[in-house]
Structure 1
Amino acid sequence: MHTDYAFINGEVITVGPDDRVFQAAAVRGKEICAVGTTEEVLGLGGPETQVVDLRGNSLLPGFIDSHLHMLLYGTNQLGVDCKNDVGNIEGIKARLAERARTSRAGEWVRGWGYNDQKLAEGRHPSRDDLDEVSKDHPIIAVRTCNHISVVNSKALELLGITRDTPDPEGGQIDRGEDGEPTGVLKETAHMLAFEASRYSTEEMMEALAIADRDFVRLGITSIHEAGGYGPDQMRAMYRVVAEGRVKVRIYAIVCSLNRSEEFVSKMVAAGLVTGVGDERFRVGPAKIFTDGSSSGPTCATREPYTSDPNYSGILYYSQEEIDDILGVAHREGFQITAHAIGDKAVEMVMNC
């Protein structure tokens, strides 16, 4: 049987045990069936073989990305870009306002990627800023770290957050000098808003297809999907794979940005642990978030931050809770992993 493709006159990097480099490679069906010299590979072809002259360029195996939020990448493309070519809060407001004008009444307006440290004002936007965009649409703008967001008054109302609302465990509701929420939500408080503003399953599937096109174009063929919307995301990923709408292989980490321990428990109860699935879609390790981000900064440190001697970041769980959640998952057959950025959080996970 002749080959379907012949890649010739290049450097074929095999990444094999001996790290050999060949001049050419042949493909039959979905497999690389031979490597060798250009002459050898052309000898395996026939009249229907498509020949690709590499002209001295390298041919690499597909990249495996070991930590990538495929769905969040895709949903960012559906949301409002508050990162690129936006230098101040007025610019963010203008972009959000443009989306609000074309959105259905009461529909969430979602922005992503702002960085308070790079804005001219040197601060986060506030609920007052976003109220100037709209008081009818709930609005969320997520910081570049994905651990902090700012929402408007309508969103706070939907979330049931008032001046009397206590900080959730593992999170913080920023408040002004008058005690009123500023709209800035950190860690688990942000995760509540993130979940409330979630996309529909159909929108998630569209976002995954968008991400897939970009990843394949860049040579990424397999990913460890690091989690986001929990069970809804897992369902959407399975569907796009089953329907043939994505090309990358997905190793799906069991994780939710909000209450990941509940998602892990449900998967354990269903017997859906690491390894279940096939080469296109497989259940990966169980994962929890233990702290925040370094740029927030909200990651948990053993010593206080130099910028604030009374602040050491935010922890989601106690040591006992981490031991219990990850211990049960491990005993039931899961590989385990965790988001742990600060040295305190890393220490707690390593001691699990």
Structure 2
Amino acid sequence: MIKENKMDGDQSIPADFSSLKTGSGDLLIYNARILSFQDGFDNNAYDTLAISGNRIKAIGRFGDLQSLIQPGTQVINALGKTLMPGLNDSHIHIWKVGNLKTYMLDVRGAQSLDHLLQMLADYALQYPEAAWITARGFNEAAWKNGQIPTKTDLDKVIKDRPVYVIRTCAHIAVCNSKALKLCNITANTPVPDGGVIYQGDDGKPNGIFSETALGLITKNIPPYTKTELKTMVLAAREELYKYGVTSATDPAVDPLLLDTYYEMHRENRLGFRLNAIPIILPDGGDQPYPIPDYYTSDEFNVNTVKFFSDGGLSGKTAALKRPYKNSAEQGVLRLNKDQYITLASQASAKGLSIATHAIGDAAIQFVIDSYKELKKLFPDIKNRIEHLGLPETKHLEAMHKYEIATSMQSIFISELGKNFIKYLDEDYLNRCYPVKSVIDNNILMALSSDAPVVKNLNPFKGVQAAVTRTDDEGSIIAAHEAITVAEALKAYTYNAALISKTEQTGSLAAGKFADFIVLDGDPLKISHEQLNTIKVKQTFVNGQSVYSA
């Protein structure tokens, strides 16, 4: 350990990160516990990181790199803290995370139907100017009666304005009678393919919609402006910094949001590395969106497009081969295969990869069969499956053979485990989000949050869930699918960079971008039960400190 060193005459080496000055220039951090997560990298070998501009110049031992210290170089003593690559959330709805911090009511804390209704009533009083009351996040499976609210429930607290409340999964929503009237929804309204309009005992819509039918309501809600979207993105960015996330993928970007991201990129306002995955088929719409052009840069990328093949497990809309437990429901398969192959081929012809949401085994089978056809037409394009909730062994074997990657969410085990236990039979539950089997089949797998589907987007909570397989109620789900801490961290860094096609991030090595974080503990050394308590002390993007605790 270096106690003191002199340079530039009497200038001493700063003691720690508290003396760090922002701005351009060279930086050398020593006395650190460095975790790189690059293949072949010895995690115990090096203690010093040298940065020049926005790139890593060298990594090694202080004695070997001390010669890099020049006049003007900032030298920081890490005091033994752990330093690792910036985390990469490969599937997070960035603007929606920010929306719940700005323009939409967050009801993820609703403990009961009455609690939800009270939150809506209070919000309506607080914002009398709001033309629509929109909210997101309820999970009826955590309530005593376990019943999804209907229009009748919402009408009890708000009648004068339309109300639209999205379930935590975002595949189901409920609206009040005023919204139904404004949207001209009646018993005679045609149901879009891949969607459901639920009915009450009277044969009329009861206010609950799922999958593509959500578009019947959302197309009537005034869209956000670009200025509002930018506010949401910046609000989400501060949350990402707090949790050490320096790269992220927004996996459901419509044309307005895509234009907004491009504007922020040109204005140099993003402040983190962003992959945008545009959606091609809007909910409830007859016409697909235009297929975007391939775009790549150091900060912003558009290299993949998105489709939805089914819904979610927590709301019983993921497409299964057999019914959910104690139910006749098997979920919803949303895609028409001919249209899917046609649009995916058009995107592939532009060099774009395909990402398809597929959770249930029926949906996964559908997507893999489609990807096999695409592989014949475009052998060099590598596609991905989002979520991969209930794959069969044959699915994993096919994914390896056809080079299909996946972005999964172990954190679902934590927050939505109670739903899975309630809705899935023993066989399904034993292979729910099987991250170990995915790794064992040599499939490129990244971990992510899918926030705001979950409230806690902390990657270390996701790591903990992948390692312990324990939900927030203490129940263990498919313990044999647990992976190591190192494997989980690699899935949030190195693997996430590979699946996002941003190989200049994800590990600490000479020449790569200087995106890294400083932690208050070593995730490889503390107990699994403490993983979610790790705090990010400092977040760096392009060699610049963007967050300090």
* TM-score, scaled to structure 2: 0.59
The residue number in structure 1 matching 2:312 is 293
The verdict on how the C-alpha distance between 1:302 and 1:325 changes in structure 2, with shifts beyond 3 A counting, is farther
Q: Deviations over 1:291-333 (max 9, x none)?
A: 1111111111222333323x32111123323222223322343
| Higher-RCO chain (CA-CA 8 Å, sequence separation at least 6) | 2
- Equivalent residue for 1:126, pick from 150, 160, 178: 150
Looking at structure 1, the residues matched to 158 and 227 of structure 2 have their Cα atoms a distance apart, in angstroms, of 26
Looking at structure 2, the residues matched to 105 and 163 of structure 1 have their Cα atoms a distance apart, in angstroms, of 31
The residue number in structure 2 matching 1:107 is 131
Matched to 2:31, the amino acid is N
The residue number in structure 2 matching 1:214 is 239
Matched to 2:136, the amino acid is W
Q: Deviations over 1:24-47 (max 9, x none)?
A: 112222112122223444442245
Looking at structure 1, the residues matched to 220 and 265 of structure 2 have their Cα atoms a distance apart, in angstroms, of 26
The residue number in structure 2 matching 1:336 is 354
Helix, strand or coil for the counterpart of 2:134? strand
Residues 305-324 of structure 1 correspond to what in structure 2 (within 5 A)?
305-309=324-328, 311-324=329-342
Q: Which moved more, 1:182-191 or 1:312-321?
A: 312-321
Looking at structure 1, the residues matched to 219 and 300 of structure 2 have their Cα atoms a distance apart, in angstroms, of 24
Residues 234-313 of structure 1 correspond to what in structure 2 (within 5 A)?
234-255=258-279, 258=283, 262-264=287-289, 266-267=290-291, 272-274=292-294, 276-309=295-328, 311-313=329-331
Matched to 1:123, the amino acid is Q
The residue number in structure 1 matching 2:473 is none
1:201 and 2:226 aligned: yes
Percent of counterpart pairs with the same letter?
30
1:28 and 2:52 aligned: yes
Q: CA deviation at 1:224?
A: 1.9
Q: Is the Cα contact below 8 Å between 1:253 and 1:286 reproduced in 2?
A: yes
The residue number in structure 2 matching 1:8 is 30
- Equivalent residue for 2:78, pick from 46, 54, 70: 54
The verdict on how the C-alpha distance between 1:122 and 1:306 changes in structure 2, with shifts beyond 3 A counting, is closer
Looking at structure 2, the residues matched to 333 and 325 of structure 1 have their Cα atoms a distance apart, in angstroms, of 13
Q: Is the Cα contact below 8 Å between 1:291 and 1:316 reproduced in 2?
A: yes
Q: CA deviation at 1:104?
A: 4.5
Looking at structure 1, the residues matched to 324 and 338 of structure 2 have their Cα atoms a distance apart, in angstroms, of 25
The verdict on how the C-alpha distance between 1:284 and 1:195 changes in structure 2, with shifts beyond 3 A counting, is farther
Q: Is the Cα contact below 8 Å between 1:159 and 1:196 reproduced in 2?
A: yes
Q: Which moved more, 1:323-332 or 1:294-303?
A: 323-332
Helix, strand or coil for the counterpart of 2:164? strand
Looking at structure 1, the residues matched to 367 and 336 of structure 2 have their Cα atoms a distance apart, in angstroms, of 10
Looking at structure 2, the residues matched to 245 and 213 of structure 1 have their Cα atoms a distance apart, in angstroms, of 12
Cα-Cα RMSD: 2.2
Q: Is the Cα contact below 8 Å between 2:316 and 2:324 reproduced in 1?
A: no
Q: CA deviation at 1:160?
A: 1.5
Q: Is the Cα contact below 8 Å between 1:254 and 1:284 reproduced in 2?
A: no
Residues 70-89 of structure 1 correspond to what in structure 2 (within 5 A)?
70-78=94-102, 79-84=104-109, 86-89=110-113
Q: Which moved more, 1:129-138 or 1:44-53?
A: 44-53
Q: Which moved more, 1:166-175 or 1:16-25?
A: 16-25
Q: CA deviation at 1:220?
A: 1.4
Q: CA deviation at 1:338?
A: 0.6
Looking at structure 1, the residues matched to 287 and 71 of structure 2 have their Cα atoms a distance apart, in angstroms, of 57
Q: CA deviation at 1:196?
A: 3.3
Q: CA deviation at 1:263?
A: 4.7
The residue number in structure 2 matching 1:224 is 249
Give the number of equivalent residue pairs. 342
The residue number in structure 2 matching 1:146 is 170
The residue number in structure 2 matching 1:164 is 188
Q: CA deviation at 1:193?
A: 2.5
1:155 and 2:179 aligned: yes
Matched to 2:113, the amino acid is I
Looking at structure 2, the residues matched to 120 and 200 of structure 1 have their Cα atoms a distance apart, in angstroms, of 39
Looking at structure 1, the residues matched to 81 and 130 of structure 2 have their Cα atoms a distance apart, in angstroms, of 53
Q: Deviations over 1:69-105 (max 9, x none)?
A: 1112111222112112x21112111211222123244
The verdict on how the C-alpha distance between 1:333 and 1:49 changes in structure 2, with shifts beyond 3 A counting, is closer
Looking at structure 1, the residues matched to 75 and 219 of structure 2 have their Cα atoms a distance apart, in angstroms, of 49
The verdict on how the C-alpha distance between 1:333 and 1:261 changes in structure 2, with shifts beyond 3 A counting, is farther
Q: Structure 1: 5+ residue runs without aligned partners? A: none
